[in-house]
Amino acid sequence: MKVAVVSGADAAFFALLKDLVVSVRERIPAAEVDLAILDAGLTDDQREQLTPLVDRIARPDWDLRPAGSAPDYIKCFDSRPMLPKYLPGYDIYVWIDADAWVQDRAAVDLLIQGASNRQCAVSPELHPGYEPVYSNLNIRYRRFGRVKIYFWAHEKYGRAFGERAMRAYAWRPLLNSGVFALHRDAPHWEAWIDSYRRALRGDPTIWVNQVAFNHAVYSRGLEAEYLPAWCNWVCARGLPAFNPATGEFVEPYVPHQRIGILHMAWNTKHGTHELATTTGGKVRRSLRRPADQKEKSNA
């Protein structure tokens, strides 16, 4: 079975992308998985730095939108449903966003296993350590005691697919498309492309890729292996804890499961954050790959 771990970025995300590439190569031998990159605007120097670390670099095109209708980095979102087109020859594709890095290869192993079992593996954004899914509810009170409730998924489903889809799927767990695995023969590819094309008519933002992925799975009743949150810990949903004894990021509650893939979504990519420790204290530190922090401190 041939597996590719894939990510992509433009020049602005290069430092994060390189952290991800190095974290994969540190933990998974090159003989076991290939590493592939989608180049959405890297510089010549950046490509040269990546070339000895990865197996393939591909340049995606505008497949779903008119050319030039969005910044080039959007290609990294739009091309995800078309990985077999740009990187043919693999049995399983594991996508990891550039703002994530691998701390424990067990997460990648589970992604591969899940895609082998059900052709799709993904983590829902559900965990006791995350803020409540509906914490950003916008409740509009109407006459006669009626209310109208909106939150992020309501808005996105409504804009992309209309009110019927919004009511049917917005309350379901959000499947985070920043980390997933799909088998080459999975029906999810074509379903995702179809939902993507439909969604772009109403919502051409970067979020359409995730809403389209969820719509494809839920509206067609497609199977998926739902993995635990530590396989894609979305830091914007809840900060991890830190184990001072091991120097590792862990889930915030006992037994403090080691996080496999740390996904620094939204505003968690940069700066430092106050984290609870497994010993009951607090520590302020970056969520970036620790070796990167050591390299910077020695610079």
Return the structure tokens found at 254. Answer: 């006992």
Residue 299 banded pLDDT, cuts 50, 70, 90 = very low
Q: What is the mean pLDDT of residues 181-190?
A: 98
Q: From residue 244, give the alpha-carbon distance in Å to each of 49, 105, 248, 283.
A: 32, 20, 7, 9
pTM: 0.92
Residue type, 56: R
Which is the CATH superfamily of the domain at 3-128+174-229? Spore Coat Polysaccharide Biosynthesis Protein SpsA; Chain A (3.90.550.10)
139 versus 70: the higher-pLDDT residue is 70
Q: Which of 78-87, 105-114, 142-151, 235-244 has the lowest mean pLDDT?
A: 142-151
For residue 253, the tally of other CB atoms under 10 A from its CB is 12
Start-to-end C-alpha separation, the chain: 41
Q: Is the pLDDT of residue 144 over 90?
A: no
Domain locations along the chain: 3-128+174-229, 138-169, 231-298
Q: From residue 73, give the alpha-carbon distance in Å to each of 9, 54, 178.
A: 6, 20, 15
pLDDT in tens, 9-52: 999 999 999 999 999 999 999 999 999 999 999 999 999 999 99
pLDDT in tens, 160-184: 999 899 889 988 999 999 999 999 9
The separation between CA 204 and the C-alpha centre of its own chain, rounded to angstroms, equals 19
Q: Which residues contact 97 (CB under 8 A, 6 or more apart)?
A: 7, 178, 179, 263, 265
For residue 255, the tally of other CB atoms under 10 A from its CB is 8
Q: Is the pLDDT of residue 80 over 60?
A: yes
Helices and strands (H, E) in the chain, number of each type = 10, 16
Q: Is the pLDDT of residue 201 over 60?
A: yes
Q: What percentage of residues in the chain have a pLDDT greater than 90?
A: 82
Return the structure tokens found at 84. Answer: 């077999």
Alpha carbon distance 103, 22 (integer Å):
11
